[in-house]
Amino acid sequence: MLRLEKRPQPSQLWTYLTPLVAVIATMIAGGALFAFLGEDPLVAIRTIFWDPLFSEFAFYYRPQLLVKGAPLVLIAIGLSLGFRAGIWNIGAEGQYIVGALCGAGVGLAFYPIEGWYIFPLMVLAGAVGGMVWAMIPAVLKVRFGTNEILVSLMLVYVAEQLLASMSLGLLKNPQGFGFPGSRNLQQYASAHNAELIAGTGMHWGVVAAFIAVIFSYILLNRHMLGFHIRLTGQAPRAARFAGVVPARLILICLGASGALAGLAGLFEVAGPSGQVSINFNTGYGFTAIIVAFLGRLHPVGILLAGGLMALTYIGGEIAQSNLGLPSAAIQLFQGMLLFFLLAVDVLTNYRIRLKQREVA
């Protein structure tokens, strides 16, 4: 009989090994799923994990990796700060939308003036927009003790309605022949988040993601605020004893994650997406939760996990178009990854012991 035995100390080895084991387990279970759908599991797995990087069309897919990965990493870094402190912002998708709306709104307000200062102002507006949206659950929690999980999640749907209203109303392109959606910022040089090096997918959002990783690494490992965040997550009473003011930490963590999600939204709307439209958001805010946990809430881990997640996104799209796999199967596959990660995670704190059942 199998039995779990608590380790005296969390295993260092397994902390690093679990994501790997989870990925392998996902490949096996996902492969079985694809086999049931009548596809060759090996081909399907190769399409998802190998083709985006090394196939003959990889030159097209590799930049996509950065484009998809950057918002995931940027949002996940913000979320990880709160998650470490036990503050659960589930509404990054909403903050992403509001950040994009605010940023794009500032850009469109200047149209057609050209100026170097327009894009920085948009970046600022995007961050502030996301932060303000995240401050709603934060303030409600601090003031009235509401549950930030519910409030932040519900605000996602409010933000989606806001997005629809903006696409059809205030931000609608006056020269768009009545179609919903704003002007295309890609055609407005001062507001365009263009590729920094053509053909690489490298835009300002990617730079921001890398900066966020470095900043968060320093914050968590070298700064008192990061120490207090970790302390609050692990032992809330000890944190209060150390002098942490829980309310302030809630505001900081939710504010920071909202700002980063807002930035991600701004870089997306001004760059790869180009315009505010009804179906602008594609679930980055939710996938980033998976990325944050897959990366063990560690900045470098999140960077790697963001890359992996982007890979399954792009690979999944290839598999959909080339192999005709349903998109639900791809989503299921991504869900499996989180499931296995959480399941294998047990091994960090417990070891499995084989126990013979003795005959009494």
Choice from 237, 328, 354, 356 touching other proteins (CB under 8 A): 237
- Contact flag: residue 246 with other proteins (CB under 8 A): no
Q: Which is nearer to other proteins, 4 or 32 (CB)?
A: 4
Choice from 222, 328, 354, 356 touching other proteins (CB under 8 A): 222
- Contact flag: residue 1 with other proteins (CB under 8 A): no
Rounded CA separation 86/205 (Å): 27
Residue type for position 123: V
Whether residue 277 contacts residue 164, with contact meaning beta carbons closer than 8 Å, is answered with no
- Contact flag: residue 229 with other proteins (CB under 8 A): no
Whether residue 298 contacts residue 229, with contact meaning beta carbons closer than 8 Å, is answered with no
Tokens representing 36? 């049931």
Q: 92 Cβ partners below 8 Å, 6+ apart?
A: 75, 78, 79, 257, 258, 261, 284, 285, 286, 288, 289
Give the binding range for other proteins (CB under 8 A) out of 38-46, 115-123, 222-230, 275-283: 222-230
Give the binding range for other proteins (CB under 8 A) out of 38-46, 57-65, 128-136, 229-237: 229-237
Q: Which is nearer to other proteins, 41 or 246 (CB)?
A: 246
Tokens representing 171? 């931000």
- Contact flag: residue 24 with other proteins (CB under 8 A): no
- Contact flag: residue 3 with other proteins (CB under 8 A): no
Tokens representing 332? 């299921």
- Contact flag: residue 350 with other proteins (CB under 8 A): no
- Contact flag: residue 225 with other proteins (CB under 8 A): yes
Q: For residue 98, which phi and psi values (nearest 5 degrees)?
A: -65, -35
Tell me how far, at minimum, the Cβ of 85 lies from other proteins, in Å: 13
Q: Where do we find the tokens 């700064």? A: 223
Q: Where do we find the tokens 């303030």? A: 139
CA-wise closest residue to 92 among 211, 203, 254, 208 = 254
- Contact flag: residue 11 with other proteins (CB under 8 A): no
- Contact flag: residue 238 with other proteins (CB under 8 A): yes
Q: For residue 355, which phi and psi values (nearest 5 degrees)?
A: -125, 125
Tokens representing 84? 């470490």
Choice from 240, 247, 322, 327 touching other proteins (CB under 8 A): 240
Q: Which is nearer to other proteins, 240 or 326 (CB)?
A: 240
Choice from 169, 174, 178, 243 touching other proteins (CB under 8 A): 243
Angle at the Cα of 90 from the Cα atoms of 84 and 94, rounded to 5 degrees:
130
- Contact flag: residue 138 with other proteins (CB under 8 A): no
Give the binding site for other proteins (CB under 8 A): 8-10, 222-225, 227, 230-231, 234-235, 237-243, 245, 358, 360
